[in-house]
A and B are shown apart, each in its own frame.
Chain A
């Protein structure tokens, strides 16, 4: 019996293995339960693959999406539904960056302790103001593009509109090519040729690297030849200071700066400003941009320094840069959720930011025309990005140097033509609305 008694402990080895496996399972459970529950087959939370729980509101509590009798319902007004589509998302989860998908774990009302409750789920208050979204949507007037506005003091995104869009209660005609790429939130998930708005990057590098920048004069004869290639300017600007060159958006001057700074320096700045990598906004990943450092003295380098060549920038990354310039060089990280401030990151030296802000203000006064932006203390930069098919994307990016209205914005109108003439009015309409609301 003594022998068998001793051998009996062998049976306990199996129990130990079971105990160990149970430990592994509990550890994995604690580690991955959020991933496990966010599975479209999980009927505790999803119906037909769509999240069947939770309420999404805008920053003022206006309901953008709710659940009624087990079905997902959207805002009462068709304009709100259309203008907020990409911020809110769709029931099928096609808009991956929409709140219904991106913030599903907050909407479920799930907690580890109580599990998935059979109640209404949780509420997510977005940072956007549906009134501003409607304003931006109507200002786009059926053109494709993206509009972003944020509070650069808090990091909250107050307006985020992507066009094309549709009313989720109605759906859209998939055969109509205007709706191509409708699932894409162009603010976060698209990267465009930046054109002249990229001159802000080149300028920031120049301010920090070229000692005689303030005293230097740039001569523009309407074109410049680099490495045998002719680079055409938008006009014949003659002799200019750097402020004037930016206000004129003079390609000759910025080609000269780019060649002097070199591709590697420009690449470093684009990288430091977060233009080339994916960013996270409230946990949502954005599209990465692109900047390729071309060889010294090449035409490609000159082109890339003025935002052409192979450059790509996402609207949200550009917004982050202008917000940093507005906020003394340090950006409050962007947020899609109300009252959920992110961290802070320094993108530029304070004096560089101040310099850039002053020149962007000079742009408006000297070149863009203050009368186009009545009563706004505006600092901005236009962009007219040639996309190779003879058309141009119209960009307008900037901010209000106004403590009471600390708004930064980015507007892009796809194939919209000149930046000032096409994106400018959208920005103005939005800023006027934002100022009057607050």
Chain B
């Protein structure tokens, strides 16, 4: 080893955690420190001449204080009507009062009424006049909106990430040789190439928000490192999976640009998810206690990972549909089938993730704690049933909290994971130099401890905080969310990622029972990785900062499209 390499390697040990902290801090600062001021998209003028601002693309009107526009009047219901703005700038009115909303041309239900500037509307006994934005006002709104990258240069963050990846690759060249060494180096090179191509493509499209993607690429870097340690010969496969994930992300992001077509596809997606699960129940391959695998050609898929995406897609809904009871019941039925099928397959961890996500979605949709408590009570009973029926699940619960009392028996997985994690200290024993990667399932279920061992506790904690950061960002985006569809989708996707992460990290560290789920983006496994990238599209679609997201149309482009875009209206939702 020449002196330069030696110096670089010594530097890398300290540089990796510092870079990770720096990258994380830059992304969080950029995502969470920027202004989030409400935007005005139109007005309703009351009879006394006062104007109420429409601050979202979906606004509820009614007497209740919690409505977006409060309309006082004896004949006004608590939630009376909904105003929805399409991403093409056209407003529609939907009645929720059962015929007590009046406007010229408003029919009973379904499609609602498209509004024009100056239209007069009656809500019970209250008359209001609708005012749209004119071009000048629209431009003013866009000028006011914060553009990402003003506080923190996104390119520099990506450059830091690239240095992180290069140093990591350098460490791997020291512990590998021959073909594997070359493939590992190429793997990291491809990752760097991919993220810069993505960056340049987005800049070309005049999009400037990269924090989500940078965090995802950071997590994927750790994931690639995990693969390089545990299955170095599978590097080309991992790269393919990563590429597939990014492509799915791009596709979904573009798909979500149009809320109408997004919503129109909910039925087919739900059907596909159910079909996929049914296929899995019927033809599933049993591996490690759960038959949640499906062999497709040379690949082994885990359908439950893709069904996660579908679940969030189906669970989200827009305000005009939210208040229909049939919607909620269908969703609850759909959830029950999902969780039931997963429990049937013995995928206890995934069933738990779906259940928590179900709770979050139903709370977001209904706002009712009572519903949530009822669901929890039901789940606890079901869980107890599972414990009595599935001995291996009960066994994991028995070992929980006592792993050091039987370190070579019931606690074997966790004691190994903890021992390896602790021996990494804060800065790690070095990439590829640990031993936990030789242990079964260390690169999936115990991946947090594997990262902690080889790259140190600091980098492993950065991975947790990256996911927490994404979740907080999703919730903050809700404050400026335009459609409740993407707000619900982003928040429930955040809940899903966080739950999955908690089960993974705390399961392997004996804080929760060991359920064997994956760490988002980091755990080895194509299905999980692709699904996580798909999940990222939900966050991206909720990112309404100016010029931030390719999943949100830019104004100029939108106006241009208004002329050519005349899609038929309609489409039934769940």
Taking beta carbons and an 8 Å cutoff, which residues of B are in contact with A?
13, 55-60, 66-68, 319, 356, 360, 363-364, 367, 404, 407-408, 415-416, 418-430, 433-435, 438, 453, 456-457, 461, 464, 467-468, 471-472, 474-475, 478-479, 481, 484, 487-488, 491-492, 494-495, 498-499, 501-502, 505-506, 509, 511-512
With contacts A11-B474, A25-B505 taken as known, whether A42 is within 8 angstroms of B430 at the C-beta atoms is no
CB pairs A–B below 8 angstroms (7 shown): A1-B55, A1-B319, A21-B511, A22-B464, A36-B423, A44-B420, A44-B435
Among B421, B435, B457, B491, point to the contact of A43 (Cβ < 8 A): B435
Q: Is the CB of B511 within 8 A of A4?
A: no
Partner of A3, one of B66, B408, B419, B501: B66
Select one of A1, A18, A37, A45 contacting B498, CB under 8 A: A18
Query: Cα distance A29–B404 when bound, in Å?
Result: 14
Asked if A111 is an interface residue, CB under 8 A from chain B, the answer is yes
Q: How far is the CA of A116 from the CA of B408 in the complex (A)?
A: 22
Q: Is the C-beta of A211 less than 8 angstroms from some C-beta in chain B?
A: no
| B360 cross-chain contacts in A, Cβ below 8 A | 10-11, 14
Q: Could you say which of B356, B367, B461, B512 contacts A14, with CB atoms under 8 Å apart?
A: B356
Let me know if A29 and B457 touch, CB within 8 A: yes
Complex formed: what's the CA distance from A178 to B82 in Å? 94
Q: Which of A2, A19, A24, A112 contacts B68 (CB 8 A)?
A: A2
B residues in contact with A11, CB < 8 Å: 360, 364, 471, 474-475, 491-492, 494-495, 498
Q: In residues 114-151 of chain A, which contact B (Cβ within 8 Å)? A: 114-118
Residues of A within 8 A of B488 (CB): 4
Indicate whether A5 sits within 8 Å of B468 (C-beta atoms), given known contacts A14-B356, A42-B419. Answer: no
A285 at the interface (CB under 8 A from B): no
Question: Knowing A11-B492, A17-B502, A39-B407 touch, does A2 contact B422 (C-beta < 8 A)?
Answer: no
Given contacts A22-B464, A39-B415, A112-B425, 18 further A-B contacts (CB under 8 A): A1-B56, A2-B68, A3-B60, A4-B481, A8-B487, A9-B475, A11-B360, A11-B498, A25-B505, A29-B421, A35-B404, A36-B422, A41-B415, A43-B435, A43-B438, A114-B425, A114-B426, A115-B424
Known A-B contacts A12-B475, A14-B356; A2 and B67 likewise in contact (beta carbons under 8 Å): yes
- Interface presence of A15 (CB below 8 A): yes
Docked complex Cα distance between A114 and B471 (Å): 31
**Complex CA–CA separation, A37 to B457 (angstroms):** 14
Interface of A is mostly: helix
Which residue on A lies nearest to B464, using beta carbons? A22
Using CB atoms, name the residue of chain A closest to B509: A25
State the total of A-B contacts with C-beta under 8 angstroms: 164
Q: Which residues of A contact B58 (CB under 8 A)?
A: 1
B494 and A15 contact, CB distance less than 8 A: yes
Contacts A1-B68, A7-B364, A11-B471 given: A117-B319 contact, CB under 8 Å?
Answer: no
Knowing A1-B68, A5-B479, A44-B434, the reply to whether A12 touches B471 (Cβ < 8 A) is yes
Given A116-B429, A118-B430, A7 and B367 contact (CB-CB distance below 8 Å): yes
Residues of A within 8 A of B (CB): 1-12, 14-15, 17-19, 21-22, 24-26, 28-29, 32-33, 35-37, 39, 41-45, 110-118
The reply to whether B423 and A1 contact each other, CB–CB distance below 8 Å, is no
Which residues of chain A are near B457, meaning CB under 8 Å? 26, 29
Query: A21 touches which one: B404, B422, B461, B506 (CB < 8 A)?
Result: B506
Collect the chain A residues with CB atoms within 8 Å of residue B13's CB: 114
Residues of A close to B425: CB separation below 8 A? 33, 110-116
**Contacts of B428 on A, CB cut-off 8 Å?**
115
**Cα distance, A216 to B113, chains bound together (Å):** 120
B15: shortest Cβ distance to chain A, in Å?
14
Q: Which residue of A lies closest to B430 (CB)?
A: A118
Contacts of B430 in A (CB 8 A): 118
A residues less than 8 Å from B423 (CB atoms): 36-37, 42, 44-45, 110, 115-116
| A114 engages B427 (CB within 8 Å) | yes
Nearest CB of chain A from residue B54's CB, rounded to whole Å: 10
Given A18-B468, A37-B419, A43-B435, is A117 in contact with B429 using a C-beta cutoff of 8 Å? yes
In-complex Cβ contact of B484 among A1, A18, A36, A112 (8 A): A1
A42 touches B487 (CB 8 A): no
Q: In whole angstroms, what is the CA distance A4 to B407 when docked?
A: 47
Q: Are A8 and B491 neighbours in the complex by a CB distance under 8 Å?
A: yes
Q: State the Cβ distance, A48 to closest chain B Cβ, in Å.
A: 13
User: Among the interface residues B55, B319, B422, which one has the most CB atoms of the partner chain A within 10 A?
Assistant: B422
Shortest Cβ distance from residue A291 to the other chain B in the assembled complex, whole angstroms? 34
Rounded to whole angstroms, the CA-CA distance of A114 and B367 in the bound complex is 48
Bound Cα distance from A26 to B491, whole angstroms: 27
CB A308 to nearest CB in B, in angstroms, measures: 41
Task: Check if A29 sits within 8 Å of B422, measured CB to CB.
Answer: yes
- A15 and B488 alpha carbons, distance in the complex (Å): 16
Partner of B487 from the list A4, A10, A29 (CB cut-off 8 Å) is A4
Q: Given the complex, which residues of B lie within 8 Å of A2, measured CB to CB?
A: 60, 66-68
How far, in angstroms, from A4 to B475 measured CA to CA in the complex?
A: 10
Closest CB of chain B to A54's CB: distance in Å? 14
With CB as the reference atom, state the residue of chain B lying closest to A33: B422
The smallest C-beta distance from B443 to any residue of chain A, in angstroms, reads 16
Give complex CA distance A293, B412 in Å: 46
> Which residues of B lie under 8 Å from residue A17 when comparing CB positions?
502
B-side contacts of A116, CB under 8 Å: 423-425, 429
How far apart are A118's CB and chain B's nearest CB, in angstroms? 6
Rounded to whole Å, the gap between the CB of A262 and the closest CB of chain B is: 44
Which of A7, A10, A25, A114 has its CB near the most chain B CB atoms (within 10 A)? A25
Q: Are A22 and B461 in contact (CB under 8 A)?
A: yes
Contact (Cβ within 8 A) A37 B66: no
> With A and B bound together, what is the CA distance between A115 and B404 in angstroms?
21
The reply to whether A118 and B433 contact each other, CB–CB distance below 8 Å, is yes
Cα of A304 to Cα of B501 in the assembled complex, Å: 64
| Complex CA distance for A399 and B492, rounded to whole angstroms | 77
Q: Which residues on the A side are within 8 Å of B478 (C-beta)?
A: 4-5, 8
Which chain B residues border A26 with CB–CB below 8 Å? Answer: 457, 461
Once the chains are docked, how many angstroms separate the CA of A355 from the CA of B478?
Answer: 85
Query: A10 CA to B366 CA in the complex, in Å?
Result: 12
User: Which residue from B363, B456, B471, B481 sits with its C-beta under 8 Å from A15?
Assistant: B471
A4 touches B364 (CB 8 A): yes
| Residues on the B chain within 8 Å of A12, using CB | 471-472, 475
Which chain A residues lie closer than 8 Å to B474 at the CB level?
11
Chain B neighbourhood of A112, CB < 8 A: 425-426
Q: Could you tell me the distance between the alpha carbons of A117 and B416 in the complex, rounded to whole angstroms?
A: 18
Contact B363 A10 (CB under 8 A): yes
Report the Cα distance A252→B399, complex, angstroms: 60
Shortest distance from the beta carbon of B492 to any chain A beta carbon, whole Å: 7
Residues of B within 8 A of A117 (CB): 429
Q: Do A8 and B364 have beta carbons less than 8 Å apart?
A: yes
Bound-state Cα–Cα, A45 to B416, Å = 13
Query: Whole-angstrom distance from the CB of A13 to the nearest CB of chain B?
Result: 9
Task: Give the distance in Å from the alpha carbon of A2 to the alpha carbon of B65 in the complex.
Answer: 10
Considering the complex of A and B, which 4 residue pairs feature the smallest CB-CB distances, nearest first? Answer: A115-B425, A43-B435, A36-B422, A8-B478
Residues of B close to A36: CB separation below 8 A? 415, 418-419, 421-423
Chain B proximity of A108: nearest CB distance (Å): 8
Report chain A residues within 8 Å CB of B453: 44, 115
Tell which of B427, B479, B511 touches A113, judged by Cβ atoms closer than 8 Å.
Answer: B427
- The answer to whether A115 touches B429, judged by C-beta atoms less than 8 angstroms apart, is yes
